[in-house]
Amino acid sequence: MKYRLYVSGTNGYYNLGTYEPDETIFCLDWLLLEQKTKEKVMAIEVNEEDNIEFPVFRYTGSLADYDDFRRYLNSNEVRITKQFRKRR
């Protein structure tokens, strides 16, 4: 599973790229813990095989929410997001 990251800006959300779970943690650690950003950050789970995208995280200033998301990324749970298919 991959994750696409967005950061809020003056004209909406800006795409930071799509990353593997470990790269996502690295990028969010830098952005939230080192840079201490005040902007909202959103992570979208991307399942390219089934053409599915699903929002899984939205940072609005609570580091406790980010800790929960890190645990989610580090877990070996099987995630099923087949309810939200993108139109082709």
- Distance CA(54)–CA(86), nearest Å, equals 10
Sequence-distant contacts of 77-81: CB under 8 A, at least 24 apart: 79/1, 79/45, 81/45, 81/47, 81/52, 81/54
pLDDT in tens, 6-29: 999 888 889 999 999 899 999 999
| Structural domain spans, the chain | 2-74
Alpha helices in 1-88 (DSSP H): 21-28, 63-74
pLDDT digits (tens, 9 = 90+) for 61-87: 888 989 988 988 888 665 655 555 555
* Residue 22 identity (one-letter amino acid): D
Instruction: Round to whole Å and give the CA distance between 29 and 38.
Output: 14
The predicted model scores a pTM of 0.80
